[in-house]
Chains A and B, each alone.
Chain A
Amino acid sequence: MTAVAAVTHAPARGSLLRRFATQEALLALAIIALAVVVGLINPRFLAARNLSDILLGNAYIAVAAIGMSMVIISGNIDISVGALIGVLATLSGSLAVAGAPVLVTWLAPLALGIVVMAAQGAVVAYLRIPAIVVTLGMLSILKGGLISVTGGKWITDLPASFHLADLSIFGIPMPVVIMATATVLAALWMWYSPRGRAIYATGGNAEAARLCGVDPQRTIVMVFALHGFFAGLATLVYATQLRVIQSTTPAGLELTIITASVVGGVSILGGVGTVIGSTLAAILIAEITSALVFVNVSPYWTDAVRGALILATVIVDIMRRRRRAERG
């Protein structure tokens, strides 16, 4: 899919379906296959309660991966998102404990997330500092700043109304609703709206994109701003699930989110991948984590097995893509 083609016309119906039919289908297949295999070993894995718990407990990763995928598709990366989520969660919780109206406590992380990320995007786009440098520096600033300001004090005593994640719509828990809606809307927007497709173009070939009237710099700022929005949304799911907010950076969160995007088929070379893939990948990784406990894999080996499975998924994805490229 060349940059030019991405911008000038929406992809033909058939190729859109075919694109979905390979990458995302592979992940969906893996999710189902794993569930079946583990279910045979321990039927309790397939209990509705367990499956829904897997989704609920990890929905925030899928939501954050939406924004991360956009950033990676545009040809950049962000390693500050974990620290940002820690900051936003603390902000939200502090406002709630201080008695702010519930709507404010929910909107504040969205707003701050957008501002912080857009600022980074501007530095990347206009000051031409590579994203890895900016976000590496920002990671330190956010991590240290959070502890400096809060002293590491946990936030307890949250008002009952704060817990957005406990609500449900038509019987479906809020985290799942948010995850599904965000994924679908983002995917549709990226495919059918010119601004959305501009992200693919910028990631694929910035010069060519510019020649087609896409402003790569504005696009990058927009992408980071969106990423901040989704980070804020993920924070809402993350922070409102439990009664305690740790005022620290969740360890390894950014790596988990990047892994979800990458396993979901988003190419680090930019220009390829979908957010549906990253959501499915996030679900798959969460499922693997749970499956390893159900299957009685020794807790000393769970990380190794999970790492091996991620590696296998990644290799399969690359091979599949190369095979398709060779076929032309």
Chain B
Amino acid sequence: MIPRHLLTTAAAALALGAWATAANAAGKWDGADDLPTNPLACEAGGAAEVAAKPYDGGQPTNPPDLAGKEITIVDVPKLIGIGYFNATSKGIQDAAKELGNVKAKTDGPTEAKIDEQIKFIDNYITSGVNGILFAANDPVAIAPVLKKALSKGIHVIGYDANSTPDAREWFVNQAEFNGIAKAMIDSMSKEAGDDAAFAIVTSTFTTPNQARWIAEMEAYAAKCHPKMQWLETVEAQEDNNLSFNQATTLINKHGDKLKGIFGMTSVATPASAEAVTKAGQCGKIAVVGLATPNAMKPYVHSDCVKSVVLWNPIDLGYAATYVMRAVADGKLKPGDKSVEAGHLGKLNVVNGSEILLGAPFIFSKDNIDKFDF
């Protein structure tokens, strides 16, 4: 006599599994929030469309006059403890030192949780900083606390991961979502062939940046590389071992069919490269992704990975600090078309209140040793 509870639970698990399997037939690449995509032109070097939108950022209420005075700012990234944000933090410190009148500190949650990040920012609002730099874990959830900062006269500048435009003054964008998507898909097509079947390893489906990149990649591939075949996307949090295991599972599952793996985070890419190396598939499976150079050096040197797509996160933090200084000095106002950012030169304003860093940077065998982050 099989106990009733066991039967019920087993039935529930099986039903759930069956539904889950069927649900996969929907076949979307990711968990994007249904925002419209905007794929670039297919030719090489298709420039990002610079939309001439009116300024749409938020403004602080009665900010104190800090022109030329020393300012204290805090940088609250998505989380601390990963190479990427260590690099942006370094860029911020470099800029602060260069400028001489900026005191900057990086502080944030140890896990990418939006609620924690909100509490960090809230505490800094209370302690009275002059400016807040942020990379948001969630664009909408972070808005209320950022608006609170603005209402207290604190300058708010975002980088890497945006909030809703009215919650910050400016957003320093490393590259447009569609530009990154184009770079990634074009790289994969070049390395693995125009009809390659590939899989994606990402952190979680709820990470806004990753979700948008993947959505743009889907749109761009459909437009310019329709013969490329998307197999599946798997989640691996921000964990090295998990990413490695997931990538290995993908390799074992698809066998010869798999020709490429996209790594969407600085954790997923080296782990996927390791999985490909351990499986002896270097050269047969291309690994294309976003990563920091140090973690990728062994694979680039062994020719397992040809190129690592990124922008320079140090430059990103550096630019964000210069923007903050310019805003505090009153030199960057709504409606301006560009801003001076130290050794980066003049950066353009796009999309109303975004400041574009520039084209994606490609790390490869020739230049990867010059970087240490």
Binding site for B on A (CB under 8 A): 42, 44-45, 47, 49-50, 53, 57-58, 60, 143-144, 147, 150-154, 156-157, 238, 241-252, 286, 289-290, 293-302, 304-305, 308-309, 311-312, 315-316, 319
Contact = CB atoms under 8 A, between A and B. Distances in A.
Nearest to A303: B235
**9 closest A-B pairs by CB:** A152-B81, A301-B20, A298-B24, A50-B252, A308-B13, A57-B245, A248-B81, A298-B23, A297-B20
B9 A315 contact: yes
A295 B249 CA distance: 12
Contacts of B24: 296-299
Interface string B287-306: 00000001101100000000
A241 B241 CA distance: 8
A68 B241 CA distance: 20
A242 B17 contact: no
Interface string B274-298: 1000010000000000000011011
B31 interface: yes
A28 B74 CA distance: 54
Contact of B9 (A58, A296, A305, A312): A312
Contacts of B244: 57, 241-242
B232 A299 contact: yes
Contact of B234 (A60, A156, A293, A295): A293
Interface in B167-217: 205
Contacts of B241: 57, 60, 238, 241-242, 250
Contacts of B83: 153-154
Interface string B317-359: 0000000000000000000000000000000000000000000
Interface string B240-255: 1100111011101111
Contacts of A60: 241
Nearest to A295: B21
Given A289-B245, A298-B23, 8 more contacts: A53-B252, A57-B245, A150-B81, A154-B295, A157-B294, A241-B241, A315-B5, A315-B6
A250 B244 CA distance: 13
Interface SS majority for chain B: helix
A290 B9 CA distance: 22
Contacts of B26: 298
B157 to A, nearest CB: 22
A147 B9 contact: no
Contact of B86 (A45, A151, A302): A151
A244 B275 CA distance: 13
B56 interface: no
A300 B241 CA distance: 20
B80 interface: yes
A152 B250 contact: no
A251 B238 CA distance: 8
A143 B110 contact: yes
B239 A251 contact: yes
Given A249-B110, A304-B20, A309-B13, A243 B250 contact: no
B334 to A, nearest CB: 35
B194 to A, nearest CB: 25
Interface of B: 3, 5-6, 9-10, 12-13, 16-17, 19-21, 23-24, 26, 31, 80-83, 85-86, 110-111, 205, 232-235, 237-241, 244-246, 248-250, 252-255, 267, 270-271, 274, 279, 294-295, 297-298
B253 A42 contact: yes
Given A249-B110, A308-B12, A147 B81 contact: yes
B233 to A, nearest CB: 6
Given A241-B241, A290-B249, A298 B20 contact: yes
A276 B6 CA distance: 24
Looking at A60, A246, A304, the one whose CB has the most chain B CB atoms below 10 A away is A246
Contacts of A300: 20, 23, 31, 205
A301 to B, nearest CB: 3
A308 B252 contact: no
B9 A153 contact: no
A242 B240 contact: yes
A298 B31 CA distance: 12
Contacts of A248: 81-82, 110
B83 to A, nearest CB: 5
Contacts of B240: 242, 244-246, 250
Contact of A308 (B9, B110, B245): B9
A304 B16 contact: yes
A152 B80 contact: yes
11 contacts: A144-B110, A152-B81, A152-B85, A242-B274, A244-B270, A246-B81, A246-B267, A250-B241, A290-B249, A301-B23, A315-B9
B274 A247 contact: no
Contacts of A289: 245, 249
A53 B248 contact: yes
Nearest to A301: B20
A136 to B, nearest CB: 16
Nearest to A246: B240
Given A296-B24, A319-B5, A156 B297 contact: yes
Contacts of B295: 154, 156, 243-244
Looking at B81, B110, B111, the one whose CB has the most chain A CB atoms below 10 A away is B81
A149 to B, nearest CB: 11
A299 B233 contact: yes
A153 B270 contact: no
B249 A293 contact: yes
Contacts of A144: 110
Contacts of A304: 16, 20
A89 B298 CA distance: 20
Contacts of B82: 152, 154, 246, 248
B67 to A, nearest CB: 33
A308 B6 contact: no
Contacts of B20: 297-298, 300-302, 304-305
A243 B274 contact: yes
Looking at B20, B233, B244, the one whose CB has the most chain A CB atoms below 10 A away is B20
Contacts of B9: 308, 311-312, 315
